[in-house]
Amino acid sequence: MPTAQQHPSPPAPASPLYSALRALALAHAKPDSLDHIMAIRAPHATHAWGHAGYLVARHPKLADVMDNAQFAAHIRSTGRYVAAARPSVVHDVVVDERKRRAVVRMSYFLRVDGGEKSEEGAEVVEQDLVWVLGFTSGEGERERERVLIEESVEFIDAAASARLGTLVREVYGEVGEDVRGGITLKES
C-alpha cells in the first residue's frame, strides 16, 4: 500500500502575491525594452552590484548604488558596445513571499555590437549571473497590483565580464567614462 511519502499531495496553487513577485522577477530578467524594465521599478528603486567585499570594493565602476535614472543610463551606455547573440535563459527563480524578495539565476549570451567580425563570427560570452530583487510592500488585494521592484542587486560573473570587456576594447578602444558594470573589468 502506498504511503503518504510515496504519493505526496500536489502543491497548493500559488498565491496571487507569489505569482505577482515571480512575474515581476521574470519581467526584470527578460524585459521587452528599457521602458518596460523601468515601468516595473518603484520611483525610489536602487541598483547595485554584488560581491561588495572584494570585487566591488576594488573596481570603482561597480561601486555606485544607482537610482533609476542612473540604472537606465548604465543599460544604455553598455548597450552601445554589446548585443544579445541569442535569447537569454532563466535557469531558476526563487520567491520568498514573506520577505518580498526573489532570486533569479540566468544567462545572457553577449557579443560585441559592431566591429569587423560578422555576427556569426563574433565570440559569444555567456554571462551567468544572479539577480536579487526586493519588492515594495502593500496590504490587501488592491495593493498587490501596485507591487514594484525597489531593489536590484546584480551578481555578475567577473571572468565573463572581463572577457567581454576585452572584446569590446579590441573593437572600440577604452569604454566611455559614463560606462558602469562588468565590461569595465579587465582580464589579468
Q: Is residue 105 part of a domain?
A: yes
Q: Is residue 9 part of a domain?
A: no
Q: Is residue 8 part of a domain?
A: no
Please give the pLDDT value at position 140.
46
Q: Is residue 71 part of a domain?
A: yes
Sign of the four-CA dihedral 86, 39, 147, 153: positive
DSSP 98: T
CB of 93 closer than 8 Å to CB of 25: yes
Q: Is residue 180 part of a domain?
A: yes
Would you call 32 exposed, middle or buried from its count of C-beta atoms within 10 A (0-12, 13-18, 19+)? exposed
76 residue type, one letter? R
Instruction: Work out how many domains the chain is built from and give that number.
Output: 1
SS3 per residue for 38-87: HHCEEEEEEEEECCHHHHHHHCHHHCCCECHHHHHHHHHHHHCCEEEEEE
Average pLDDT by stretches of 10, the chain with 188 residues: 52 85 95 95 95 84 89 93 94 96 97 73 93 83 72 95 94 89 88
Q: Is residue 10 part of a domain?
A: no
Please give the pLDDT value at position 90.
97
Please give the pLDDT value at position 159.
94
Residue 107 sits in a domain whose CATH number is 3.10.450.50
Structural domain range at position 40: 16-184
Q: Is residue 1 part of a domain?
A: no
Q: Is residue 5 part of a domain?
A: no
